[in-house]
Structure 1
Amino acid sequence: MRRAIPLFIAPLALTACNQAKPLYVDHAWVRLAAVPGRPAAAYFTIHGGKAPATLIAVSADTAVLAQMHRSMQSGGVSAMAPIDRLPIPARSTVRFAPGGLHVMLSDVNPVVKPGGTMHLTFSFADGTRIEQDAGVIGAGAPDPK
């Protein structure tokens, strides 16, 4: 009987290893503006879960307004366009990074300083909400690793 127990446990352990992780957010950070009163920018990585999801909003506890944007290059000119919703395919990774997807944070509370954190809330079309703290860096600081 003792030899039979591992034979039953091993398949269960392997099944648990193959299950997809749930939808989650990591590597969140915020770059403050160089000029006071200008918008800050938030960056992060969204990892899709076992089903597709749609990001519909990101909010910050210390900013009056947060808007998702996409940066684009066309004919050597940079431009930004707002995004109302962003599909997150199942088992995928969507990265918000400088020069691409980002969240503009307007009217950031002046108590937010480099080395601190901002609390971000990610809202999805199915009602899912994910909360994540984001490290804050100054305008001229290198991107976090």
Structure 2
Amino acid sequence: MRRAVFLGLCALALGVPLGGCSEKAELFAEEGWVRLAAVPGRPAAAYFIVHGGPRPVDLISVSSDVAITSEMHEGGMAMKKVDRVPIPAGATVPFTPGGRHVMLYDMNPGVKPGRILSLLLTFSDGTRLRQGARVIAAGDPAPQ
């Protein structure tokens, strides 16, 4: 027993990785925000960043409890609906104005700037992540 502990401590001191001790990247999202529509009744847009985990997955849906429906899109003025967004292992996939984003349709009219919404991101492996998203007005600058 003492020998095993001693060898383990020596391995750590020498920087030799031990099985099960190394940190693995986890799938997560951050920096969520939602821009309200300039015209009442039009969709809002949601943005965030997804960081891939140890295995590739696809983001297959994003929803919010304050919108009736949502769709993932790519592009700005010539946007197109997409059914899934690949998230490569260890990659960073941004959802930004003019690029990938989520359209939130039929938003609750009571949602005002300053509120934090909850987005539910669902992935092809069954993983679900909740991401907070700060609401801004249509004309406000994007958060930095």
Short-chain TM bin: 0.7 to 0.9
Q: CA RMSD in A?
A: 2.1
Q: Distance in 2 between matches of 1:142 and 1:14?
A: 47
The aligned runs of 1:49-60 (5 Å cut-off) are 49-60=53-64
Identity between Structure 1 and Structure 2 (%): 51
Amino acid paired to 2:34: V
Amino acid paired to 1:39: P
Q: Distance in 2 between matches of 1:31 and 1:15?
A: 45
Per the alignment, residue 131 of structure 1 pairs with 130
Q: Secondary structure at the match of 1:7?
A: helix
Per the alignment, residue 109 of structure 1 pairs with 108
Per the alignment, residue 10 of structure 2 pairs with 7
Per the alignment, residue 75 of structure 1 pairs with none
Counterpart contact for 2:11–2:18, Cα < 8 Å:
no
1:7 Cα shift? 3.3
- In the TM superposition, structure 1's runs of 4+ consecutive aligned residues that sit over 6 Å from their partners are 12-17
Amino acid paired to 1:69: H
Amino acid paired to 1:135: R
Segments of structure 1 that go 5 or more residues without pairing to the other structure are 73-77
Q: Distance in 2 between matches of 1:132 and 1:17?
A: 28
Q: Distance in 1 between matches of 2:106 and 2:85?
A: 24
Q: Distance in 2 between matches of 1:49 and 1:103?
A: 21
Q: Distance in 2 between matches of 1:132 and 1:93?
A: 16
Aligned pair in 2 of structure 1 residues 58, 14: CA closer, same or farther (>3 Å)?
Answer: same
Segments of structure 2 that go 5 or more residues without pairing to the other structure are none
Amino acid paired to 1:20: K
TM-score, length basis structure 1: 0.86
Per the alignment, residue 85 of structure 1 pairs with 84
Per the alignment, residue 74 of structure 2 pairs with 70
1:110 Cα shift? 1.1
TM-score, length basis structure 2: 0.87
**1:97-123, Cα deviation, whole Å (9 max, x unpaired):** 000000000011011100001110000
Structure with greater strand percent: 1
Q: Distance in 2 between matches of 1:83 and 1:28?
A: 19
2:117 is equivalent to residue 118 of structure 1: yes
Aligned pair in 2 of structure 1 residues 50, 34: CA closer, same or farther (>3 Å)?
Answer: same
Per the alignment, residue 36 of structure 1 pairs with 40
